[in-house]
Structure 1
Amino acid sequence: MPQVSIRPKEAAQVRGTGYDAAKRLLQRIRQHFNKPADTDVSIGEFCQFTGLPVAEVTAALQPTLKHS
């Protein structure tokens, strides 16, 4: 099954930032989409907010998915 949400570790890897910066980014994305703090951020929401292409983010996450 394909991954539909993104975690701070993965967001940090994709963006080339630290874990704490990625956590703050995901918090800002949740606020932007009016989501509760305890909900997941989808890859689509992440891409829409950051402007990154979905295909590239999904491809960047593939090695991570195999080791999860």
Structure 2
Amino acid sequence: MPRRRSVVCPSCGTFLCARDTRCEVCNAWSPRVKQAVFFKGVTVAAALLGGLYVWHAIQQFGTTLVPH
């Protein structure tokens, strides 16, 4: 028989199923969703910073080729 895992809502203390994304009582996000959103934000920020670095490197490379 499969075991049902549960977590406690950090906002109101209600027991939630581990796969739930929101608490039915207070409508707060579960810790699993908060962690997923945080890591997705870090990934997007890293991609943007990497893109800005590449864009800046291309801009610098282009200015070195133009004779003054």
Which protein has the larger Cα radius of gyration, Structure 1 or Structure 2?
2
Highest relative contact order (Cα 8 Å, sep 6+), 1 or 2?
Answer: 1
Greater helix share, structure number:
1
TM-score (norm 2): 0.28
TM-score (norm 1): 0.28
